[in-house]
């Protein structure tokens, strides 16, 4: 049986636009009648719902993009109130994160779907457990795993992006794309030439974007945007790659 393709969406920092990119990719693939299962292993900074449960807004958004609203607990299984790195949030709340359980969830998804889009919490090197960084934990045991690295536009992003990309490369991770996301109109007006500089260092074939800011963009809007910057086509080329 052919397993699904694992696409890991990570970023240079928290609040960088990972969910924006993941939503767009998920909806674009679903619109092509692909079987897609997004995952948000751990979500922190969650708020309490009326029934007392914690609500993970990212997991809810990903479930909606995949048209899997009833699977939200599977998509986002681990939630914490504390707005911190996963291992810190777990420690503050007297809990531990079971990496074996996370791997089982991922592997079950790969057996059930054509595409599994695993979105991290925070940046690529965020600690998830007491001994695991996300960059190491997410692809472990999956030979065909690829990363999509999301970064912002503006001052400081060149260093953050090059440093994160180097950390991925040193680990032998395959980076499919570096996506520049403009979170605000101020970033869209920025004159730091970060996209051009990143392309000169990493290659124009790797760096794509920008995704322009729109807080009210629908999943279908975001699907069109990831297609317009060539990200969807890059993902679809994975079909021709050896599993």
Rounded mean pLDDT, 220-235: 97
Rounded distance between C-alpha atoms, residue 219 and residue 55, angstroms = 20
pLDDT at 85: 97
Residue whose entry in the numeric block shows the structure tokens 């292993």: 41
- Could you tell me which of 95, 75, 73, 74 has the C-alpha nearest to residue 84? 95
- Structure-token pair, residue 190: 């920025």
* pLDDT tens readout for residues 160-209: 999 999 999 999 999 999 999 988 887 777 767 889 999 999 999 999 99
**pLDDT exceeds 80 at position 243:** no
Q: For this structure, is 18 an active site residue?
A: no
Confidence (pTM): 0.95
**pLDDT exceeds 60 at position 53:** yes
How far are the Cα atoms of 76, 80, 114, 123, 190 from residue 163, in angstroms, in the given order?
28, 28, 31, 12, 21
The domains located in the chain, with CATH, are 5-240 (3.40.50.300)
* pLDDT tens readout for residues 101-137: 999 999 999 999 999 999 999 999 999 999 999 999 9
Catalytic residue among 40, 67, 95, 224: 40
Q: Is 151 left (phi over 0), alpha (psi -120 to 50) or beta?
A: beta
What would the DSSP string read from start to end of the chain? -PPPEEEEEEESSTTSSHHHHHHHHHHHHHTTT--EEEE--EE-S-EE-TTSPEE-HHHHHHHHHTT-GGGHHHHS-EE-SS-S-HHHHHHHTT----HHHHHHHHHHHHHH-SEEEEE-SSSTT-BSSSS-BHHHHTTTT-TT-EEEEEEE-STTHHHHHHHHHHHHHHTT--EEEEEEE--SHHHHT--S-HHHHHHHHH-TTTEEEEE---TT--HHHHHHHHHHTTHHHHHHGGGGS--
Are 118 and 21 within 8 A, CB to CB? no
How far are the Cα atoms of 150, 168, 171 from residue 226, in angstroms, in the given order?
12, 22, 27
pLDDT at 241: 58
pLDDT at 213: 87
Rounded mean pLDDT, 61-73: 97
pLDDT at 240: 65
pLDDT at 119: 98
pLDDT at 193: 87
Q: Binning pLDDT at 50, 70 and 90, where does residue 215 land?
A: confident
pLDDT at 155: 85
Which phi and psi angles does 9 have, rounded to 5°? Answer: -100, 115
């Amino acid at each position: 049986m052919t397993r699904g393709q694992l696409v890991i969406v990570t970023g240079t920092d928290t609040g960088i636009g990972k969910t924006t990119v993941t939503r767009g990719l998920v909806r674009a693939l679903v619109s092509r009648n692909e079987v897609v299962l997004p995952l948000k292993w751990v979500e922190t900074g969650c708020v309490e719902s009326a029934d007392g449960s914690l609500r993970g807004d990212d997991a809810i958004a990903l479930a909606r993009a995949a048209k899997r609203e009833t699977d939200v607990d599977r998509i986002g299984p681990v939630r914490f109130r504390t707005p911190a790195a996963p291992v810190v949030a777990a420690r503050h709340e007297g809990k531990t994160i079971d990496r074996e359980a996370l791997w089982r969830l991922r592997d079950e998804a790969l057996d059930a779907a054509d595409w599994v889009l695993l979105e991290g919490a925070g940046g690529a090197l965020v600690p998830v457990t007491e001994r695991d960084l996300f960059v190491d934990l997410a692809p472990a045991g999956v030979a065909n795993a690829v990363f999509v690295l999301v970064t912002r536009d503006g001052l400081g992003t060149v260093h953050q992006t090059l440093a994160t990309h180097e950390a991925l490369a040193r680990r032998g991770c395959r980076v499919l794309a570096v996506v520049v996301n403009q979170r605000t109109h101020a970033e869209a007006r920025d004159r730091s030439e970060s996209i051009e500089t990143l392309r000169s260092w990493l290659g124009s074939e790797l760096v794509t974007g920008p995704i322009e800011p729109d807080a009210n963009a629908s999943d279908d809007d975001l699907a069109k945007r990831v297609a317009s910057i060539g990200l969807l086509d890059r993902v679809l080329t994975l079909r021709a790659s050896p599993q």
